[in-house]
Amino acid sequence: MINEIQQYLDARYIGPLEAAWRIFGHPLHTEMPTVVRLALHLPGMHRVVFNPEESLETIQSRAGQQMSTLTGFFAYCVASEDECPFTYQEFPQHFVWLKSEKRWKSRERGYAIGRMYFASPNYGERFYLRKSLIDFPPMSQPTANWSAVVGNRLIFEHQQLQSEAQHVDPQITIDCLNNGQRNAYNTITSSVFQNKETAFFLNWGVGTGKTFLYNTIALKFRSLRHIVVTVASSGIASLLLVRGRTAHLTFSIPLDVLENSLCEFSKQSLQTELFRETKLIIWNKVPMQHKHCVEAVDRTLSDICDSEKPFGGITVVLGGDFRQILPVIPKGVYEQIDQFSRNR
């Protein structure tokens, strides 16, 4: 006989720490940093909330005057006397969107990152729309082939990062590291400097400063004109890294990855040239990925670098927190998952 009440109680286990946390009324969930969703739409196609009992004229009149985060950004750029130095996605880091007033205001405190809504090819004009220089006659037209001038655009982007790092003193952030971060920093940097070609894993809890350590290490080597590739398993986590990208985009990991899969770029591609020049790879939130993704990257880098060493001989720093990943018991019931969680 199945006792559903007992099954629920067995699965709904609250330990003494969580119980005390709830009794004292502490918050159970926080979002750090704040994520601002940025609208992406065609003219006159922004979302409008209305009362169905209102007249059509009233709704259209109010909708025509409302601002979205996108149109508000354009309005700010038009009204500003100086040229706006920030892109649309960087705007929430320096401005706050006032929902009640439908306008952007200069940020006085706090920190936030922007995330634009995704536009797939099925969306038509919203996907295919492109900001061309021909549509703006005052703008000068290109006179040379940019690809021929720049060469490998991926390497050129990292050279830009190296130039920016030349104007920053990495010792300032190094001095802010605590003892645990300093030990990890010294171990990783010494391995790179001595060409030990080691793979590391940082298994620290949330809020312990892993991202700060990643950016500090990347800044140090970029200031020395080394290429450091920083990726994360999720889009939000990648935005916290300086010029971070998602792992799937950077390594071209197949969506349906198998135990013998390879990354989807050839030995003659731009990615291959980049990784052959790469000194260090930092990959955050690795526990979120399937192990076949990491194995595919390892297998591909060893192939393009002609090396049997892990990740083709490139020093790799993997990081994450397995405590944030729920245990999975194949075909397990609630009691088995609960018992496994208590024994972890």
Return d(Cα 278, Cα 298) in angstroms, integer.
14
Tell me which residue range forms the domain holding 87: 34-133
Residues 123 and 198 in one domain: no
What average pLDDT does this structure show over 100-114?
89
Residues 163 and 220 in one domain: yes
Return d(Cα 284, Cα 197) in angstroms, integer.
18
* Residue % of the chain over a pLDDT of 90: 33
Counting every residue, how long is the chain?
Answer: 344
What integer pLDDT is reported at residue 9 of this predicted model? 73
Q: How many C-beta atoms lie closer than 10 Å to residue 272's C-beta? A: 20
Residues 304 and 250 in one domain: yes
Specify if 250 maps to a domain.
Answer: yes
For residue 271, the surrounding DSSP H or E stretch is: helix 270-277
Structure tokens at 106: 């200069």
What integer pLDDT is reported at residue 276 of this predicted model? 92
Tokens 């971060």 label which residue?
181
Indicate if the pLDDT at residue 32 is higher than 80: no
Residue 99 DSSP label: T
Specify if 15 maps to a domain.
Answer: no
What average pLDDT does this structure show over 255-270?
88
Beta bridge partners of 115: 37
Residues 105 and 209 in one domain: no
277 or 323, greater pLDDT: 277
What average pLDDT does this structure show over 18-30?
86
pLDDT digits (tens, 9 = 90+) for 167-226: 889 999 999 999 999 999 999 999 999 988 889 999 887 778 899 999 999 999 999 999
45 or 318, greater pLDDT: 318
Question: At CB < 8 A and 24+ separation, what contacts does 109-113 make?
Answer: 110/34, 111/33, 111/34, 112/33, 112/34, 112/35, 112/36, 113/33, 113/34, 113/35, 113/36, 113/236, 113/239, 113/240
Return d(Cα 300, Cα 264) in angstroms, integer.
9
Give the domain-ending residue among 73, 101, 133. 133
What integer pLDDT is reported at residue 326 of this predicted model? 67
* pLDDT band per the 50, 70, 90 thresholds, residue 256: confident
Return d(Cα 184, Cα 217) in angstroms, integer.
10
pTM of the model: 0.66
- Three-state secondary structure call for residue 144: coil
Residue 44 DSSP label: T
Indicate if the pLDDT at residue 19 is higher than 60: yes
Residues 198 and 54 in one domain: no
Residues 282 and 192 in one domain: yes
Residue 206 DSSP label: T
Specify if 247 maps to a domain.
Answer: yes
DSSP symbols for 162-198: HHHHTTS-HHHHHTT--HHHHHHHHHHHHHHHTT---
275 or 46, greater pLDDT: 275
47 or 32, greater pLDDT: 47
Return d(Cα 58, Cα 40) in angstroms, integer.
25
pLDDT digits (tens, 9 = 90+) for 60-94: 888 888 889 999 999 888 888 888 888 898 999 99
Specify if 19 maps to a domain.
Answer: no
Indicate if the pLDDT at residue 344 is higher than 60: no
What average pLDDT does this structure show over 39-58?
86
pLDDT digits (tens, 9 = 90+) for 289-343: 888 899 999 999 999 998 889 999 999 999 988 777 766 677 777 777 666 655 5
What integer pLDDT is reported at residue 130 of this predicted model? 61
Q: Name, in order, each residue with C-beta under 8 angstroms of 191's C-beta and a sequence gap of 6 or more.
A: 197, 198, 200, 315
Return d(Cα 252, Cα 230) in angstroms, integer.
14
15 or 189, greater pLDDT: 189
Cβ–Cβ under 8 Å, residues 179 and 298: no
Indicate if the pLDDT at residue 35 is higher than 80: yes
User: Among 177, 277, 267, which Cα is nearest to 219's?
Assistant: 177
- Three-state secondary structure call for residue 227: strand
Mean pLDDT of the chain: 86
What integer pLDDT is reported at residue 267 of this predicted model? 86
Residues 181 and 300 in one domain: yes
pLDDT digits (tens, 9 = 90+) for 230-240: 999 988 889 88
Q: How many domains does the chain have?
A: 2
Tokens 């038009």 label which residue?
78
Torsion angles phi and psi, residue 195, rounded to 5: 55, 45
Helix then strand then coil, in percent of the chain rounded to 5, is 45, 15, 45
